Amino acid sequence: MKATAFDQYVTLVRQGLRAEFVDKERLVSPVLFALTMLILFAFALGDLDQSLRIKVYLAETLLTALFALQLSFSRLFEPDRQDRVFDLLRTYPVSYSSLFLAKYTLVLILGSATLIPTMLFGAFLHQSANQSLFSWLVLGISILALAGLGALGVLLSVLTLKAQARQILYPILYFPLTTPVLLAAIQSARLCLEAGVTSPELKSWIGLLVGFDTIYITLGILLFTELMDES
Protein backbone atom coordinates (compact mmCIF):
# COMPACT_ATOMS: atom_id res chain seq x y z
CA MET A 1 0.00 0.00 0.00
CA LYS A 2 1.35 3.41 -0.99
CA ALA A 3 1.98 5.68 1.97
CA THR A 4 -0.11 8.84 2.08
CA ALA A 5 1.43 12.29 2.40
CA PHE A 6 0.37 12.37 6.05
CA ASP A 7 2.03 8.99 6.73
CA GLN A 8 5.21 10.28 5.12
CA TYR A 9 5.02 13.42 7.24
CA VAL A 10 4.64 11.46 10.49
CA THR A 11 7.50 9.11 9.56
CA LEU A 12 9.80 12.00 8.68
CA VAL A 13 9.02 13.82 11.95
CA ARG A 14 9.76 10.70 13.97
CA GLN A 15 12.99 10.10 12.09
CA GLY A 16 14.04 13.71 12.59
CA LEU A 17 13.35 13.65 16.32
CA ARG A 18 15.22 10.36 16.66
CA ALA A 19 18.23 11.85 14.88
CA GLU A 20 18.17 14.95 17.08
CA PHE A 21 18.03 12.94 20.30
CA VAL A 22 20.98 10.83 19.18
CA ASP A 23 23.14 13.97 18.90
CA LYS A 24 22.25 15.67 22.18
CA GLU A 25 24.79 18.44 21.58
CA ARG A 26 22.47 19.86 18.92
CA LEU A 27 19.72 20.10 21.55
CA VAL A 28 21.75 21.44 24.44
CA SER A 29 24.07 23.94 22.75
CA PRO A 30 21.38 26.50 21.69
CA VAL A 31 19.90 26.53 25.21
CA LEU A 32 23.29 26.92 26.88
CA PHE A 33 24.20 29.69 24.45
CA ALA A 34 20.96 31.55 25.21
CA LEU A 35 21.28 31.22 28.99
CA THR A 36 24.93 32.31 28.92
CA MET A 37 24.06 35.40 26.88
CA LEU A 38 21.27 36.33 29.31
CA ILE A 39 23.61 36.05 32.29
CA LEU A 40 26.18 38.25 30.55
CA PHE A 41 23.50 40.84 29.75
CA ALA A 42 22.28 40.82 33.35
CA PHE A 43 25.75 41.43 34.79
CA ALA A 44 26.61 44.07 32.19
CA LEU A 45 23.41 46.11 32.69
CA GLY A 46 23.14 45.79 36.46
CA ASP A 47 20.07 47.22 38.22
CA LEU A 48 17.56 48.73 35.85
CA ASP A 49 14.89 51.37 36.30
CA GLN A 50 11.37 50.03 36.46
CA SER A 51 10.51 51.73 33.17
CA LEU A 52 13.30 49.91 31.33
CA ARG A 53 12.78 46.38 32.60
CA ILE A 54 10.15 45.41 30.03
CA LYS A 55 12.08 46.75 27.05
CA VAL A 56 15.38 45.22 28.15
CA TYR A 57 13.72 41.88 28.95
CA LEU A 58 12.07 41.64 25.52
CA ALA A 59 15.16 42.80 23.66
CA GLU A 60 17.40 40.35 25.49
CA THR A 61 15.20 37.29 25.33
CA LEU A 62 13.94 37.59 21.76
CA LEU A 63 17.27 38.57 20.25
CA THR A 64 19.15 35.93 22.25
CA ALA A 65 16.61 33.30 21.19
CA LEU A 66 16.99 34.48 17.57
CA PHE A 67 20.77 33.95 17.61
CA ALA A 68 20.41 30.60 19.38
CA LEU A 69 17.80 29.40 16.89
CA GLN A 70 19.93 30.54 13.97
CA LEU A 71 22.56 28.05 15.10
CA SER A 72 19.96 25.29 14.88
CA PHE A 73 18.53 26.44 11.55
CA SER A 74 21.92 26.63 9.85
CA ARG A 75 22.59 22.98 10.77
CA LEU A 76 19.08 21.76 9.97
CA PHE A 77 19.99 19.68 6.91
CA GLU A 78 23.51 18.67 7.95
CA PRO A 79 22.57 15.07 8.91
CA ASP A 80 20.66 14.65 5.63
CA ARG A 81 23.57 15.97 3.56
CA GLN A 82 26.15 13.82 5.34
CA ASP A 83 24.04 10.65 4.96
CA ARG A 84 23.12 11.49 1.33
CA VAL A 85 19.45 11.47 2.25
CA PHE A 86 18.55 13.78 -0.65
CA ASP A 87 19.94 11.31 -3.18
CA LEU A 88 17.94 8.52 -1.57
CA LEU A 89 14.74 10.57 -1.52
CA ARG A 90 14.78 10.72 -5.33
CA THR A 91 14.45 6.93 -5.45
CA TYR A 92 11.34 6.95 -3.25
CA PRO A 93 7.95 8.57 -3.92
CA VAL A 94 8.31 11.04 -1.03
CA SER A 95 6.31 14.25 -1.18
CA TYR A 96 8.57 17.27 -0.83
CA SER A 97 5.68 19.12 0.81
CA SER A 98 5.65 16.44 3.50
CA LEU A 99 9.41 16.85 3.91
CA PHE A 100 9.07 20.63 4.30
CA LEU A 101 6.27 20.30 6.85
CA ALA A 102 8.23 17.63 8.74
CA LYS A 103 11.34 19.84 8.92
CA TYR A 104 9.16 22.80 9.86
CA THR A 105 7.50 20.82 12.66
CA LEU A 106 10.92 19.74 13.88
CA VAL A 107 12.04 23.38 13.95
CA LEU A 108 8.96 24.38 15.95
CA ILE A 109 9.52 21.61 18.50
CA LEU A 110 13.24 22.24 18.95
CA GLY A 111 12.79 26.01 18.75
CA SER A 112 10.18 25.93 21.51
CA ALA A 113 12.59 23.87 23.61
CA THR A 114 15.05 26.80 23.30
CA LEU A 115 12.59 29.70 23.41
CA ILE A 116 10.61 28.72 26.52
CA PRO A 117 13.62 28.30 28.88
CA THR A 118 15.11 31.53 27.49
CA MET A 119 11.97 33.53 28.27
CA LEU A 120 11.52 31.97 31.70
CA PHE A 121 15.14 32.56 32.69
CA GLY A 122 15.08 36.11 31.32
CA ALA A 123 11.94 36.90 33.32
CA PHE A 124 13.60 35.47 36.44
CA LEU A 125 16.68 37.66 35.99
CA HIS A 126 14.70 40.89 35.55
CA GLN A 127 11.76 40.27 37.83
CA SER A 128 10.88 42.77 40.53
CA ALA A 129 8.48 42.87 43.45
CA ASN A 130 6.19 45.29 41.60
CA GLN A 131 6.17 43.70 38.17
CA SER A 132 5.87 40.22 36.71
CA LEU A 133 7.49 39.94 33.31
CA PHE A 134 6.44 36.43 32.31
CA SER A 135 3.12 36.27 30.49
CA TRP A 136 1.46 33.40 28.67
CA LEU A 137 0.28 35.82 25.99
CA VAL A 138 3.83 37.05 25.46
CA LEU A 139 4.97 33.44 25.20
CA GLY A 140 2.25 32.85 22.60
CA ILE A 141 3.42 35.90 20.65
CA SER A 142 6.99 34.59 20.79
CA ILE A 143 5.87 31.22 19.43
CA LEU A 144 4.07 33.04 16.62
CA ALA A 145 7.38 34.74 15.84
CA LEU A 146 9.06 31.33 15.93
CA ALA A 147 6.50 30.09 13.38
CA GLY A 148 7.61 32.72 10.88
CA LEU A 149 11.32 32.41 11.66
CA GLY A 150 11.10 28.62 11.40
CA ALA A 151 9.55 28.65 7.94
CA LEU A 152 12.16 31.14 6.78
CA GLY A 153 14.95 29.09 8.35
CA VAL A 154 13.90 25.87 6.60
CA LEU A 155 13.56 27.62 3.23
CA LEU A 156 16.94 29.35 3.42
CA SER A 157 18.63 26.21 4.73
CA VAL A 158 17.77 24.28 1.58
CA LEU A 159 18.43 27.36 -0.60
CA THR A 160 22.03 27.59 0.65
CA LEU A 161 22.51 23.84 1.02
CA LYS A 162 25.22 23.50 -1.62
CA ALA A 163 26.59 27.02 -1.55
CA GLN A 164 30.35 27.11 -1.02
CA ALA A 165 30.16 30.11 1.33
CA ARG A 166 27.10 28.76 3.11
CA GLN A 167 28.13 29.87 6.59
CA ILE A 168 28.41 33.45 5.32
CA LEU A 169 25.53 33.47 2.84
CA TYR A 170 22.92 32.07 5.22
CA PRO A 171 23.04 34.85 7.88
CA ILE A 172 23.27 37.53 5.17
CA LEU A 173 19.92 36.34 3.81
CA TYR A 174 18.35 35.29 7.09
CA PHE A 175 18.78 38.27 9.41
CA PRO A 176 17.33 41.03 7.18
CA LEU A 177 14.26 38.92 6.41
CA THR A 178 13.61 38.35 10.11
CA THR A 179 13.25 42.10 10.78
CA PRO A 180 9.48 42.44 10.18
CA VAL A 181 8.71 39.34 12.24
CA LEU A 182 10.88 40.45 15.16
CA LEU A 183 9.58 44.02 15.01
CA ALA A 184 5.95 42.89 15.12
CA ALA A 185 6.70 40.38 17.90
CA ILE A 186 8.56 42.86 20.11
CA GLN A 187 5.95 45.60 19.66
CA SER A 188 3.12 43.15 20.40
CA ALA A 189 4.86 41.81 23.50
CA ARG A 190 5.73 45.30 24.75
CA LEU A 191 2.13 46.52 24.40
CA CYS A 192 0.90 43.37 26.14
CA LEU A 193 3.16 43.94 29.16
CA GLU A 194 2.83 47.72 29.35
CA ALA A 195 -0.78 48.40 28.34
CA GLY A 196 -2.42 44.99 28.66
CA VAL A 197 -4.60 43.12 26.21
CA THR A 198 -6.98 46.08 25.91
CA SER A 199 -4.42 48.14 23.96
CA PRO A 200 -5.97 49.21 20.62
CA GLU A 201 -2.63 48.77 18.81
CA LEU A 202 -2.06 45.21 20.04
CA LYS A 203 -4.37 43.56 17.51
CA SER A 204 -2.74 45.46 14.65
CA TRP A 205 0.76 44.29 15.56
CA ILE A 206 -0.38 40.71 16.13
CA GLY A 207 -2.19 40.83 12.79
CA LEU A 208 1.01 42.00 11.12
CA LEU A 209 2.92 39.16 12.79
CA VAL A 210 0.38 36.57 11.63
CA GLY A 211 0.50 38.08 8.14
CA PHE A 212 4.27 37.68 7.81
CA ASP A 213 4.04 34.16 9.27
CA THR A 214 1.50 33.28 6.58
CA ILE A 215 3.70 34.75 3.85
CA TYR A 216 6.81 32.85 4.93
CA ILE A 217 4.99 29.55 5.44
CA THR A 218 3.27 29.85 2.05
CA LEU A 219 6.53 30.71 0.30
CA GLY A 220 8.19 27.78 2.04
CA ILE A 221 5.59 25.29 0.79
CA LEU A 222 5.58 26.72 -2.75
CA LEU A 223 9.34 27.11 -3.23
CA PHE A 224 10.65 24.10 -1.28
CA THR A 225 9.85 21.61 -4.06
CA GLU A 226 11.63 23.71 -6.68
CA LEU A 227 14.69 24.13 -4.48
CA MET A 228 14.82 20.41 -3.71
CA ASP A 229 14.67 19.52 -7.41
CA GLU A 230 17.67 21.77 -8.05
CA SER A 231 19.70 20.67 -4.98
In the DSSP assignment, the letter for residue 47 is S
The confidence score (pLDDT) of residue 156 equals: 85
The confidence score (pLDDT) of residue 145 equals: 92
d(CA 217, CA 148): 7
Residue range 71-80, pLDDT digits in tens: 777 667 766 6
Can you give the residue range of the structural domain that contains 52? 5-229
Sign of CA pseudo-dihedral 191, 197, 199, 203 = positive
Q: Which residues of 97-134 are buried (b: 16+ CB within 10 A; e: fewer)?
A: bbbbbbbbbbbbebbebbbebbbebbbebbeeeeeebe
What global pTM score does this model have? 0.86
The confidence score (pLDDT) of residue 181 equals: 92
Residue range 152-179, pLDDT digits in tens: 988 888 887 766 677 778 778 888 888 9
The confidence score (pLDDT) of residue 1 equals: 46
In the DSSP assignment, the letter for residue 199 is -
The confidence score (pLDDT) of residue 211 equals: 95
The confidence score (pLDDT) of residue 103 equals: 87
Q: In the chain, how many domains are there?
A: 1
Q: How many residues does the chain have?
A: 231
Nearest alpha carbon to residue 99 among 108, 86, 110, 114: 86
d(CA 2, CA 195): 54
**Residue numbers in the chain where pLDDT is lower than 70:** 1-3, 23-26, 50-51, 74-75, 78-93, 128-131, 162-164, 229-231
Residue pair 174/70 in contact by the 8 Å Cβ criterion: yes
